[in-house]
Chain A
Amino acid sequence: EDQVTQSPEALRLQEGESSSLNCSYTVSGLRGLFWYRQDPGKGPEFLFTLYSAGEEKEKERLKATLTKKESFLHITAPKPEDSATYLCAVQGWGAQKLVFGQGTRLTINP
């Protein structure tokens, strides 16, 4: 069964303090790995799709990377508005559904 584990569960940083979030996964053939951002009281907002090991994608202060066993979401010089829960999900070949991790709750203090 496909599984996703995210760490840490919660992370508190000072504004400008760069860090990384981890997403470890097991899947029977990776079709895609997804990163979402979720703000309180809202639905998950799509950020990135990664398809194969070695792939990287960037958006503003965020960069997502992928290996055969895990993905990292690097946050460079974060701002308070980057505070949110970041969710990782995988989709295996032959599967239509996304399997989510439990998320990392990120707080950026000014």
Chain B
Amino acid sequence: DTAVSQTPKYLVTQMGNDKSIKCEQNLGHDTMYWYKQDSKKFLKIMFSYNNKELIINETVPNRFSPKSPDKAHLNLHINSLELGDSAVYFCASSYRQGGATEAFFGQGTRLTVV
């Protein structure tokens, strides 16, 4: 019973295409995130939603657009894909309130732009 699940796991596409990645969590968390992991394994936050409201929007090209239809789902749509978008994208979820909020991650989507 997967806690945070992403689809697809692999995505190979040509430059200029538009693609989407979907994420769902069944942990009952109220906050979801998109992180990007580059070739050097460095994880960096892109977006965060709390109860469908965007609360973090790091310096990300506006070709990337997150959408959260409800607090259990967070999708990432990418327009006009570029070679530099190739990376592993991770979805994560956590609780917002209270003390330090450890995040739980999905298995990742490896995006390759050719």
Contact = CB atoms under 8 A, between A and B. Distances in A.
A109 interface: no
Given A51-B99, A96-B96, A85 B41 contact: yes
Contacts of A45: 105
A37 B48 CA distance: 22
Interface residues of A, number: 26
**Mostly helix, strand, loop or mixed at chain A's interface?**
strand
A67 B106 CA distance: 30
Given A43-B107, A97-B48, A103 B41 contact: yes
Interface string A34-58: 1010100111111001010000000
Interface in A51-105: 51, 85, 87, 89, 91, 96-100, 102-103, 105
Interface of B: 4, 31, 33, 40-45, 48, 50, 55-56, 58, 90, 92, 96, 99-108
